[in-house]
């Protein structure tokens, strides 16, 4: 009942691990440990109890498949997880597990922990693309080439403009995602109805402790206010779209009659089961396939914004898998396009030949300045945030 | 790196098996075996060769995780699968594997085999819902109840009208899906460019043999013509929506201040990690969560309709995971609502109390006739197809 | 405040008229006239009253902009429309207007009347495409050409296979739409809570009269059961996608370095505001732009399936504009591609040149038989339904 | 052929004007005037020529319906618009119209001018909501009420928490939109292939002049890089979702059996064509209907991110209508919810009665502090940007 064949080719092993069962369970247990630890810090619980729960969290082993069956029955992951954690604690300690928290606190916090890890992972592959493309944009800033609009030859461009435009789009999108994750990937700690009842009036402080311990920012409870997850989802979808733009262009330029660029030749990649002579744009295929799926995943998450009352029915429960899918697709796409960027095959002769045949002259306007401006923007300090 | 926690609660074990790795590999190998067997029947290959390949298909064991890694590298499942199958055959037999076929032939045919199995599985759970609801609709056809429009009390209805409307919607949607699967879940056999080259002019006959052997209908190659998969996806999304309609109503009627229906009480289901007194509409949650995700998945598949030329780049490759997700969600939803339907708790006293308080009289119009008409429609013979 | 520039280029004047204000008002008034006429036929109302209301419906003039303001305030079109109709009737007649009906009865019936008219209109443009493409598919069935897969040259095809595949996809999609409109574009007559109260137990017969008079099929009330509109929306989206597939291919084949087909040269069409030499694929642009928008419009309508109780809040109200947009886009797309099909410029020399350069031989397999099979399918009698 | 009835109830007259034909034509002509004025400033054109073109732009009258027909034929608005502008100029002046620009420069710049105006308009209605809700949140911060989760009574909350959460969501969403419009609603000036050829090497300076003159920010050409429009679309969709969250809650609380809030009673609003006693949540209906449509509109725009080469075919052409629809829906929704907020009817007795009946005590936890924190966040200075 495994589903490697369905998920693996569109993702990366590292991102699959970020959203895999072991990570989910580890994040959920880390939340429970941090919660009671924060309660101890604030004097609500004996430190020894926090230690004991922390120890149980650190050593508890859970079979994911069994836990998933139990979660399917219960309607939430937290119920069977907390039951097991309590069972793993001494009886007088068990009743201090999960005090003041609700299922959605665990689910949302674990998801946001995964989103942070996923964004960092994604940023690394995206950075590879930028590092590989920048010198190409620079080198070809003034290489005259056919510019194409509406799929027709138009006027000449510096070939590097096209590359710099890919970079600028990907950089802009990744910057937006990092910003949204920074602002919205916060701890969730509201308790059953989002009022932080049961935390002795110290809920805000305890939430801050938990956030710090988990590497998240703190925030007021947001069980029914999903603008943050919607923003993160949209931004991830835009990253996928920006990568697909690069893939679209490369796959068009690689058409045999055009031949201006090709994906790198890599053993075992891009072949055909029926035609040995083919060199398929397989990296672009990954990025374009991701882009067919992403907008609908984003739409699904936006649909959940009108959550019912304090904690809704169905909307936030649908977010987790869809958000995971978006990051999996982004990762698969970024990794694929990093390989493409690092080995991109640019055929100067074909570029020159097509331009000559087009008979549109060689005035590339301000291509050089545009490349410089686009590259400078991707290096701007505000992009670090 | 497993992902039970992400997929299991929204699906069923049986449907996960239909789209799981073992099933995918089995369907792909069944295609290869059927193909060479059909070629033998038509005299293109020695029967002994077909036997040998069939035997290799029957015994080949492949680790899905490794195969998925290879498929990710190659860009298609068929390349590593065919390589392994060839390696498992005697040298003089190996070159007859996959003759006349292309990667997409394997992928599409395997997917359609899964779609057929999935539809049959889904139909069984949907039938459980109908069987459970029909007597309830009948029994409550003339039970006067508040009819509600725009979330406000309107005029009285027979309570059974509401139930019969759920049934009619689900039945109509499932009928549409069965019809589309019957028409469009066909074998794919076109070869590298969709012309059936390499089959000695017998491609149409061979395709018919393969189809018969796999329990599919035959059809002209449809590599770049995706109207059939789009129709199947849409119809599956509509099934999910029709189930969600029932879930929406039950969850609204189960609100404490209304209390006209509740999900059945089931040990371990619908509890709260923070509030022991709650009985959450957990089955409805599954169905509503599925419905938040489905429209976007359908949209993603529709987006792929504008496939490039003979076999596109990215579109059809994105269909498989999205179509699987739709069937997984439909299965989880149907199974959840079957449990709800079979134990649905209808509170006549609350219904009467709410109606009396509304002060809108008791004229339920033609409720009885409408229930009868809706139930009759779900039993019509044309619904068998 | 008009919005010609936003709607006209993506649609056709004829389809804009189908969904324009005058048509909407006319359909709504026709519903009211047919309703009271049916009541008279069944003896619930004096014939003279039905005559008087019918006469008022026939002569009532309403300023659409004012009516729209009033509808925006009231939250529904029917309230101000019925108020005006009553005001236009003699006092003793006025109270027989809209008896037994609710706002949504008017809205849904008018929308379905428009859907029927729209489908007929669309079918005519789609038929033009088929009529223009069939002889081209036939003529080029065995013209050897490069077949392309994953945007790479693959193996030869008969050029006509590509054309026949476009036709088969469009025909299949249009067939699905016609079938769904035939089954689901039915009259809506349920009254305030969907029970047909207030029609003296003759609601079913009255609904049948109204349906017949408006050229619709009859059906049980479907206020909260939206599987039919969802099916119609999906099928319209698939028609748009099938047209976009043709547009995708033609725009790719028209790339200057490939040049195998071009849109017809038409004065004033496809120029560039900056480059006089360009011949842009403007018809394809219309069809592709429509296809970017359609899947999301379909998704929005599917989202509304989980309507609340007897008549929902927000879902069905969102359907009308989205369904109109889908038909407007389909019409614009079909009309644009009809012009393209009727003047399609196929360059045999370029086709031959590209094939020779590809060095992939000339074996076009069973192209001729595939073309014949695809064309035969589009002529099959079951396609008439 | 007008379509008031389709567009008006979901929008506002003011926002319809922002995206109406007169505004579109005015923005396009303003671009042309600013372009030649900037060229004069940089010495590329005689000032008198710029004056003459500016005068023609200021006085040119164009019938939108005719222009729309011409734009439909040409495939772009700019071609017929520029032709008319040239015809309105003296012959020796006419050739200086539109120099260095392309159709998409006009279209994108006009659209971004509309986006800026639309955002300012929207912000005003959103501010009305905040101003109306803040005192309500404050006043009811400690009013004990039933908190509801998964549509079931859960634990008590301060009623004001719910209101403050609406505000926080809407404020967060509107902040995101304002930020994205600030960053991405920039002038487009790239010329035919995006290289600023034909501007004598002064393209960057000229673009800055044009931007200043039109009240936009300047940017490198972004014809094929659509991350900015995608971000604006997503953020608008999130605003719509945040408004729908408020509408969802109010419509649920207004159910007759709950009765904790109701929309204000307004003459002519929220009635029923069949039931005089009803008070429908008509404002919420507008906001919820908008939210059914928005996610799919966003998805459509995201789909266009993978634009082809220097200027794509179909993607950016699809953006304009979809972006306009999003702002129209946001405006209709914000205006409707402003009216609801300003007259929101909160029934303390019903709130107390429901809480007592629930038997869940009165511990509202840290509700007061949470309200204070949420309100403070909406007043934070960084929200001004």
Residues C90-108 have a mean pLDDT of 97
- The answer to whether B151 contacts C176, with C-beta atoms less than 8 Å apart, is no
Judged against a pLDDT cut of 80, whether residue C107 lies above it is answered with yes
* CA–CA distance, A211 with A215 (Å, rounded to integer): 6
Please judge whether D358 and B256 are an interchain contact, meaning their C-beta atoms are less than 8 angstroms apart: yes
Q: How far apart are CA A269 and CA A336, in angstroms?
A: 11
If DSSP codes are grouped into helix, strand and coil, which group holds residue A157?
strand
Statement: the pTM of the whole predicted model exceeds 0.90: yes
Whether residue A121 is found in the same domain as residue A207: no
Residue B382: per-residue pLDDT: 53
- Residue D118, exposed/middle/buried by CB under 10 A (0-12, 13-18, 19+)? buried
Euclidean distance between CA atoms A198 and A204, whole angstroms: 12
B-interface mutation test, from C144, C174, C238, C369, most B Cβ less than 10 A away: C238
B46 and B167 co-located in one domain: no
Q: In the predicted model, what is the mean pLDDT of residues C13-33?
A: 97
> B42-69: per-residue pLDDT in tens?
999 999 999 999 999 999 999 999 999 9
Give just the sign of the alpha carbon dihedral D25, D29, D34, D39: positive
C39 lies in the same domain as C169: no
- Cα distance between residue A275 and residue A272, in whole Å: 5
Q: From CA C248, how far away is CA A252, in angstroms rounded?
A: 13
Give B167-199 as a 3 state SS string.
Answer: HHHHHHHHHHHHHHHHHHCECCCCCCCCCCCCC
Chains that touch C (3 or more CB pairs under 8 A): A, B, D
Q: Are residues B110 and B92 in the same domain?
A: no
What is the SS3 assignment for A152?
Answer: strand
What is the DSSP secondary-structure string of C94-143? HTTTTTT--HHHHHHHHHHHHHHHHHHHHHHHHHHHHHHHHHHHHHTTT-
Nearest Cα residue to C366 out of B91, D23, B197 = B197
| Residues D163 and D122 placed together within one structural domain of the fold | yes
Query: Is C20:D3 a contact under the CB 8 Å cutoff?
Result: yes
CA distance A374 to chain B (A): 28
CA proximity to A221, closest of D294, D359, D147, D262: D147
Instruction: Pull the structure tokens for residue D181.
Output: 């419009």
Confidence of residue A381 (pLDDT cuts 50, 70, 90): low
Supply the range of the domain harboring residue B36.
Answer: 1-101+187-220
Of all residues in chain D, what percent carry a pLDDT higher than 90?
A: 94
**What is the rounded distance in angstroms from the CA atom of residue D84 to the CA atom of residue B377?**
60
Q: Is the pLDDT of residue B324 over 60?
A: yes
C-alpha distances out from residue C178 to A57, B319, C241, Å: 60, 25, 16
C258 in reach of chain A (CB within 8 A): yes
The catalytic residues of B are 272, 311
What is the rounded distance in angstroms from the CA atom of residue B121 to the CA atom of residue B125?
Answer: 7
DSSP state letter for C147: E
> Rounded to the nearest 5°, which phi and psi values hold at D135?
-65, -30
| Residues near D87 by beta carbon (within 8 Å), at least 6 away in sequence | D94
Q: Is A14 in the same domain as A130?
A: no
Chain A 270-299, residues with CB within 8 Å of chain C CB atoms: 272, 274-275, 277-281, 285, 295-296, 299
What CATH number has the domain bearing residue A317?
1.20.200.10
Give the C window 129-158 contacts with B, CB below 8 Å: 147-151, 154-158
- Please tell me the total count of domains within chain D: 2
Q: In the prediction, which pLDDT does B186 show?
A: 98
Residue B214 has pLDDT above 80, yes or no: yes
Helix (H) or strand (E) holding B1: none
Give me the pLDDT at residue B381, please.
62
CB B128 within 8 A of CB B338: yes
Verify that D158 and D304 share a domain, yes or no: yes
Does residue A47 register a pLDDT over 90?
yes
Higher pLDDT, A1 or A120: A120
pLDDT digits (tens, 9 = 90+) for B32-43: 999 999 999 999
pLDDT at C261 over 80: yes
Picking from B169, B198, B220, the residue at the C-terminal end of a domain is: B220
CA C188, C299, D326 angle in degrees (round to 5)?
Answer: 100
- Distance (Å, whole) CA D302 – CA A245: 11
Q: Per residue in B272-304, pLDDT tens?
A: 777 767 889 999 999 999 999 999 999 999 999
Q: Is the pLDDT of residue D382 over 90?
A: no
Contact A169/D at CB under 8 A: yes
For residue C317, pLDDT beyond 70: yes
Amino acid B385: pLDDT: 35
Exposed e or buried b per residue across B186-214, where buried means at least 16 C-beta atoms within 10 angstroms of its C-beta: bbbbbbbbbbbbbbeebbbebbbbbbebb
Taking alpha carbons only, the member of B213, B217, B246 closest to residue B232 is: B217
Contact status, residue B209 vs residue B38, Cβ threshold 8 Å: yes
DSSP result, B341-353? HHT-EE-HHHHHH
Cβ neighbors of D373 (< 8 A, separation 6 or more) are A204, A220
Whether residue D222 is predicted with pLDDT greater than 70 in this model: the reply is yes
Residues 1-30 of chain D with CB under 8 A from chain B are none
B contacts of C197 (beta carbons < 8 Å): 155-156, 363-366
d(CA B174, CA C342): 40
Half-sphere exposure of D242 (CA within 13 A, CB side): 35
**Percent of chain C clearing pLDDT 90 (strictly above):** 93
Given a cut of 80, is residue D50 above it in pLDDT? yes
- In sequence order, which residues have a C-beta less than 8 Å from that of residue B197 and are 6 or more positions away? B100, B191, C155, C156, C363, C364, C365, C366
Report pLDDT digits (tens) over C116-145: 999 999 999 999 999 999 999 999 999 999
Is the same domain home to A124 and A234?
yes
Together in a domain, A107 and A120: yes
- Least confidently predicted of A274-283, C116-125, C268-277: C268-277
Average pLDDT over residues D178-190: 97
Residues D174 and D123: their CA atoms lie apart, in Å, by 7
Residue B345 CB neighbours (<10 A): 15
Option in C4, C17, C290 nearest D68 (CB) = C4
Percent with pLDDT over 70 in chain A: 98
**Residue/partner pairs of D379-385 with CB below 8 Å, 24 or more apart:** D383/D171, D383/D175, D385/D175, D385/D178, D385/D179, D385/D182
Report the mean per-residue pLDDT for chain C.
96
Q: Give the separation between CA A220 and CA A204, rounded to whole angstroms.
A: 8
pLDDT value for A380 = 77
Handedness of CA C78, C83, C87, C93 (dihedral sign): positive
Q: Let me know whether A25 and A168 are in one domain.
A: no
What's the rounded mean pLDDT across residues D351-370?
A: 97
Note whether B368 contacts C: Cβ–Cβ < 8 A.
no
Q: Which residues have C-beta within 8 Å of that of residue D355, sequence separation ≥ 6?
A: D144, D145, D146, D156, D362
The mean per-residue pLDDT over the stretch D34-55 comes to 98
Q: Which two tokens stand for residue B93?
A: 């037999």
Among D176, D204, D220, which residue terminates a domain? Answer: D220
Predicted confidence (pLDDT) at residue C385 exceeds the cutoff of 50: no
In this structure, are residues A57 and A99 in contact, taking their beta carbons and an 8 Å threshold?
Answer: no
DSSP assigned state of D381: G
The confidence score (pLDDT) of residue D385 equals 36
pLDDT at D277: 74
The torsion defined by the Cα of A375, D184, C285 and C279, in degrees rounded to 10, comes to: -50
For position C96, what pLDDT does the model report? 98
Nearest C-alpha in D relative to C81: D273
Over residues D236-258, mean pLDDT: 98
Cα–chain center distance at A37: 30
Domain identity same for B114 and B228: yes
Q: Where are the alpha helices (DSSP H) in C265-314?
A: 282-303
Min distance D259 CA to chain A CA atoms (Å): 14
- Among candidate residues D220, D239, D272, the one where a domain is terminated: D220
Same domain, C163 and C37: no
C213: CATH? 1.10.275.10
- The structure tokens listed for B382 are 């044309």
Alpha-carbon distance of A215 to A116, in angstroms, equals: 9
CB contact B265 to A (< 8 Å): no
Element (H, E) at B239: helix B227-253
Q: Are D4 and C65 in contact (CB under 8 A)?
A: yes
Which pLDDT score, from 0 to 100, does residue D381 have? 62
């Amino acid at each position: 009942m495994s589903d490697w064949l369905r998920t693996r080719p569109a993702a990366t092993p590292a991102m699959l691990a970020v959203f895999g069962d072991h990570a989910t369970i580890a994040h959920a247990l880390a939340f429970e440990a941090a919660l009671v630890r924060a309660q101890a810090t604030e004097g609500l619980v004996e430190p020894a109890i926090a230690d004991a729960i922390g120890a149980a969290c650190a050593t508890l082993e859970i079979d994911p498949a069994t836990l998933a069956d139990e979660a399917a029955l219960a309607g939430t992951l937290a119920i069977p997880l907390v039951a097991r954690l309590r069972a793993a604690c001494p009886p007088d300690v068990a009743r201090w597990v999960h005090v003041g928290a609700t299922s959605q606190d665990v689910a949302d916090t674990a998801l946001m922990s995964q989103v942070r890890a996923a964004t960092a992972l994604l940023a690394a592959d995206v950075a590879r693309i930028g590092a590989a493309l920048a010198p190409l944009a620079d080198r070809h800033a003034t290489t005259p080439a056919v510019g194409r609009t509406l799929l027709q030859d138009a006027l000449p461009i510096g070939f590097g403009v096209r590359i710099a435009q890919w970079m600028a789009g990907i950089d802009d999108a990744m910057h937006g995602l990092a910003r949204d994750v920074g602002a919205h990937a916060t701890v969730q700690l509201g308790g059953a109805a989002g009022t932080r009842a049961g935390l002795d009036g110290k809920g805000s402080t305890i939430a801050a402790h938990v956030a710090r311990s988990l590497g998240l920012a703190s925030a007021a409870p947001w069980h029914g206010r999903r603008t943050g997850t919607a923003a993160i989802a949209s931004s991830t979808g835009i990253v996928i779209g920006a990568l697909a733009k690069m893939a679209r262009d490369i796959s068009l330029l690689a058409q045999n009659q055009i031949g201006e660029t090709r994906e790198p030749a890599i053993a075992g990649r891009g072949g055909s089961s029926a035609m040995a002579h083919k060199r398929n744009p397989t990296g672009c295929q990954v990025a374009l396939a991701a882009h067919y799926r992403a907008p609908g995943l984003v739409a699904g998450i936006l649909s959940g914004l009108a959550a019912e009352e304090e904690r809704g029915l169905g909307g936030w429960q649908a977010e987790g898998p869809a958000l995971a899918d978006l990051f999996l697709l982004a990762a698969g796409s970024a990794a694929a396009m990093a390989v493409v960027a690092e080995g991109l095959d640019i055929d100067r002769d074909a570029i020159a030949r097509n331009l000559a045949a087009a008979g549109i002259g060689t005035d590339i306007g301000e291509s050089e300045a545009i490349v410089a401006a686009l590259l400078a923007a991707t290096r701007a300090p505000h992009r670090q945030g």
